[in-house]
Amino acid sequence: MNHPLHRYLREEVLPGPFCPGCGNGLVLGALVRAIARAGHADLREFVFVSGIGCAAWIPSPHLKADSLHVAHGRAVPTAIGVKLRRPDLNVIVVGGDGDIAGIGGNHLVHAARRNADIVVLMVNNLVYGMTGGQVGPATPHGLPTSTTPYGNPEQPMDTAAVVAAAGANYAARWTVAHPRRLEEAIYTALGRTGFRFVEALSQCPARVGGRLKVEPAAFLNWLKLRSVPLGEAGEDAVGERFTVGEYTARDRPGLGETLAGLRPKGGRDE
């Protein structure tokens, strides 16, 4: 294997565990291309943190980097602990919609409010994939799942908008059918400070496609056809159509900077 991006991967664990047609490989590709483009020859200055779910396996163990694989929903606070103690490292969380926006939703909102200096890459495959395709916080209204066999009665969370409203420096949503845009968003996130959130809408051929009898390629096209640029979508975030684009891009001071600015007089750092 001589692909130039393989230097970021643990080749001994390839091929990965993901289902044929899964979008996680596209997300992994966008992530390492963005890192390569940012000029990092290896991942020594990165720590990846993930929780539980298919997307949490993107960094652990596939990336040739330090990775902490913790409990469902708890990657964000774990990452904040790492970053506070080692501000010199780039700390990136990778997780699914259930992990990040569902069980970890409270941590996500408060990490954005604090503008904690981490990147969160959320792979939104519309369901809890690893456990069998149950309804999740970002499942479109009406979509049948294994726990909503007659259709999802609830509305999906517009997670990128929530994160932007909570105070994050950067929030964007693209789909894996927009690999260039997705890579660009991750690259932009890597170049900023504060809390940065990139959502990648992705196909789950096993748990959504299987139920709907949709082939992965058709699923990708479905994501692409339903995507509408931010500003043209009206209220429809992740319902009938998927809003894509940058929800916010600003430069408020991150948590590390604000903490450092509030040390006591006479402290060790002065």
Footprint of another protein (CB under 8 A): 10, 13, 44-45, 47, 49, 60-61, 64-71, 74, 76-86, 88-89, 106-107, 110, 259, 262-264, 266-269
How far, in Å, CA of 125 to CA of 209, rounded?
Answer: 10
Q: Residue 233 CB, nearest distance to another protein (Å)?
A: 30
Q: Residue 93 CB, nearest distance to another protein (Å)?
A: 11
Tell me whether residue 66 or residue 257 sits nearer to another protein (CB atom): 66
What residue has token string 């066999």? 149
- Cα atoms in the 13 Å half-sphere on the side-chain side of 127: 27
- Cα atoms in the 13 Å half-sphere on the side-chain side of 203: 27
Q: Residue 27 CB, nearest distance to another protein (Å)?
A: 19
How far, in Å, CA of 201 to CA of 175, rounded?
Answer: 4
Q: Are β-strands 119-124 and 227-229 bridged in parallel, bridged antiparallel, or unpaired?
A: unpaired
Tell me whether residue 217 or residue 260 sits nearer to another protein (CB atom): 260
What is the phi/psi pair of residue 87, to 5°?
-65, -15
Q: Residue 5 CB, nearest distance to another protein (Å)?
A: 17
Tell me whether residue 103 or residue 177 sits nearer to another protein (CB atom): 103
- How far is residue 252 from each of residues 72, 150, 170, 199, 240, measured CA to CA in Å? 29, 44, 10, 21, 33
Q: Residue 17 CB, nearest distance to another protein (Å)?
A: 10
Tell me whether residue 82 or residue 121 sits nearer to another protein (CB atom): 82
| SS3 of residue 159 by DSSP | helix
CB of 126 closer than 8 Å to CB of 175: no
Q: Residue 78 CB, nearest distance to another protein (Å)?
A: 4
Tell me whether residue 76 or residue 143 sits nearer to another protein (CB atom): 76
Altogether, the residues listed in the chain come to a count of: 270
Q: Residue 88 CB, nearest distance to another protein (Å)?
A: 7
What is 85-127 written as a DSSP string? H-TTSEEEEEEEHIIIIIITHHHHHHHHHHT-S-EEEEEE-SE
Give the residue from 93, 96, 5 showing the smallest Cα distance to 47: 93
Tell me whether residue 33 or residue 62 sits nearer to another protein (CB atom): 62
